[in-house]
């Protein structure tokens, strides 16, 4: 049965392979024709996903060689470290690594029971949600405005895109200066209004400061995707809606926004990833997790516990939890790919 199944498959491939095998393929033709008539329902072979129809055929030698650099780097700097994190997360060791014990899931239990970790989860949650709302909201408004106007569009776009070039650490430093309680111009404005602003002492102020800096750096990313997405919304749809009497804002909310749905979903996932991982530099440059752990987001805590407190087991357990979270985000992104195909925007 398997043999017969394979015959029409080869037959359909024959034109491709002829260039390589020359006359050698002639022997297979009668059998292939017979098979072809029998399986006439399947005229084309089952194509392998993501493989060119015109390919260089079988043989693992050369492709392995081509893949080797990528796979070696992944092995050394990705798979082995991830495995080590998994192993360390079930081990308990002292800071010098002289005494190691296997403790099952004790590291996770201690971690989830500790108030520090819970605080860190809460902080991360509010930080990423606030950052997400602020970033996506501003980007949507700016993208809408950009889509409406004609004159000066590229000038605005150039300026709004600038923060993408600026390192998160530098964005953090700029905002730390603006809101520095002693010298910062914006902090002076706030103090002039009678607000006792001091991110070095006041936990809420510190969280607001890093959220502002993180959003400022990331609005441009969401913005450019939304601008490009809006360009892809068919003009005919917009015109039809306008003829039906829908105003510009109504059209944006009822037509453009739903069509941008997949893009917005994708951006939300990317914003969460940014907030979770890439804001490390902002935290380290501005608040160092303080005051009193008010800005100690999860990824910063992994770093502090691993390199400052030398609590390797706990740090590894945190890494494992974060990795699971990142994997969930990856799967969510997969959904985005599927939905994108369906909507076609």
Partner 1 sequence: MVERSPILNMLCHAILIAGALMVCVPLYFAFVAGSLTVAEVQKVPLPWLPGGQFFDNLQLAWSKGNFSRTFANSIIVALGITAGKIAVSLLSAFAITYFRFRYRMLAFWLIFTSLMLPIEVRIVPTFEAVANAALPLQWLLDTLHIADLWRWISGHEVAIALEWNMVNTYPGLILPLIASATATFLFRQFFLTIPEELCEAARLDGASPLHFFWSILLPLSVPNMVALAIILFLFGWNQYLWPLLFTTDKDMATAVIALKGLIPRSDSEPAWNIAMSGALLTMLPPVLVVLLLQRWFIKGLVDSSK
Site for partner 1 in 254-313 (CB under 8 A): 266, 270, 273, 277-278, 280-281, 284-285, 299, 302-303, 306-307, 312
- Interaction of residue 177 with partner 1, rule CB under 8 A: yes
Q: Mapping DSSP to helix (H, G, I), strand (E, B) and coil, where does residue 92 land?
A: strand
Residue 63 makes contact with partner 1 by CB under 8 A: yes
Which residue, 35 or 262, has its beta carbon nearer to partner 1? 262
Report the residue from 216, 262, 294, 301 that binds partner 1 according to the rule CB under 8 A.
216
CB of 34 to partner 1, least distance (A): 25
Which of 24/38 has CB closer to partner 1? Answer: 24
Binding to partner 1 (CB under 8 A): which residues in 14-53? 16, 19-20, 48, 50-53
Strands (E), the chain: 91-93, 100-102
Judged by beta carbon, residue 34 or residue 157, the one nearer partner 1 is: 157
Enumerate residues 6+ apart whose C-beta is below 8 A from 88.
312, 313, 315, 316
Q: Which residue in 34, 255, 329, 345 binds partner 1 (CB under 8 A)?
A: 329
Q: Which residues contact 1 (CB under 8 A, 6 or more apart)?
A: none
Read off the DSSP letter of residue 91: E
Is there a contact between 283 and 289 (Cβ–Cβ < 8 Å)? yes
Please name which of 321, 323, 228, 333 lies closest in space to residue 271, comparing C-alpha atoms.
333
The whole-angstrom separation of Cα 345 and Cα 339 is: 10
CA separation for the pair 56, 69 (Å, rounded):
20
Please report whether residue 206 would count as binding partner 1 according to CB under 8 A: no
State yes or no: residue 322 binds partner 1 (CB under 8 A): yes
**Number of residues binding to partner 1, judged by CB under 8 A:** 111
Q: Which is nearer to partner 1, 34 or 45 (CB)?
A: 45
Phi and psi of 100, rounded to 5°? -120, 135
Residue with tokens 């998994």: 86
**Which residue in the set 174, 190, 255, 345 belongs to the binding site for partner 1 (CB under 8 A)?**
174
The radius of gyration of the chain from alpha carbons, rounded to an integer in Å, stands at 28
107 binds partner 1 (CB under 8 A): no
Provide, rounded to whole angstroms, the least separation between the CB of residue 30 and partner 1: 25
Q: Does 330 bind partner 1 (CB under 8 A)?
A: yes
Backbone angles phi, psi at 209, to 5 degrees: -60, -50
Q: Provide the CA 242 distance to its chain's centre, in angstroms.
A: 36
Taking the least distance from each CB to partner 1, the nearer of 39 and 325 is 325
Q: Is 156 in the site for partner 1 (CB under 8 A)?
A: yes
* CB closer to partner 1 out of 3 and 65: 65
**End-to-end alpha carbon distance in the chain:** 44
Interaction residues for partner 1, span 111-140 (CB under 8 A): 138
Q: Does 173 bind partner 1 (CB under 8 A)?
A: yes
- Asked if 54 is part of the footprint of partner 1 (rule: CB under 8 A), the reply reads yes
């Amino acid at each position: 049965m398997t043999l017969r199944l394979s015959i029409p498959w080869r037959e359909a491939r024959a034109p491709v392979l002829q260039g390589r095998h020359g006359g050698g393929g002639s022997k297979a033709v009668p059998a292939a024709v017979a098979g072809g008539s029998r399986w006439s329902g399947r005229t084309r072979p089952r194509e392998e996903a993501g493989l060119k129809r015109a390919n260089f055929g079988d043989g693992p030698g050369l492709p392995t060689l081509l893949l080797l650099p990528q796979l070696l780097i992944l092995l050394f700097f990705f798979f082995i470290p991830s495995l080590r994190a998994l192993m360390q997360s079930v081990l308990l060791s002292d800071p010098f690594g002289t005494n190691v014990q296997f403790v099952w899931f004790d590291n996770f239990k201690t971690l989830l029971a500790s108030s520090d970790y819970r605080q860190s989860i809460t902080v991360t949650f509010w930080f990423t949600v606030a950052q997400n709302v602020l970033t996506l909201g501003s980007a949507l408004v700016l993208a809408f405005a950009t889509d409406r106007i004609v004159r000066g569009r590229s000038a605005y776009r150039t300026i709004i895109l600038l923060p993408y070039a600026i390192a998160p650490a530098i964005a953090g430093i700029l905002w730390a200066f603006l809101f520095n309680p002693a010298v910062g111009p914006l902090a002076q404005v706030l103090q002039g209004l009678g607000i006792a602003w001091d991110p070095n002492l006041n936990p809420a102020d510190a969280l607001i400061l890093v959220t502002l800096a993180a959003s400022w750096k990331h609005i441009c990313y969401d913005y450019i995707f939304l601008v490009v997405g809006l360009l892809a919304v068919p003009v005919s749809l917009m015109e039809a809606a306008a003829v039906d009497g829908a105003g510009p804002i109504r059209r944006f909310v009822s037509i453009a926004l739903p069509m941008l749905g997949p893009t917005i979903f994708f951006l939300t996932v990317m914003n969460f990833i940014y907030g979770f991982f890439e804001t490390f530099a902002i935290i380290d440059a501005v608040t160092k997790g303080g005051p009193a752990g008010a800005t100690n987001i999860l990824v910063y805590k992994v770093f502090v516990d691993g390199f400052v407190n030398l609590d390797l087991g706990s740090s590894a357990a945190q890494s494992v939890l974060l990795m699971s979270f990142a994997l969930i985000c990856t799967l969510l992104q997969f959904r985005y790919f599927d939905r994108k195909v369906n909507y076609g925007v």
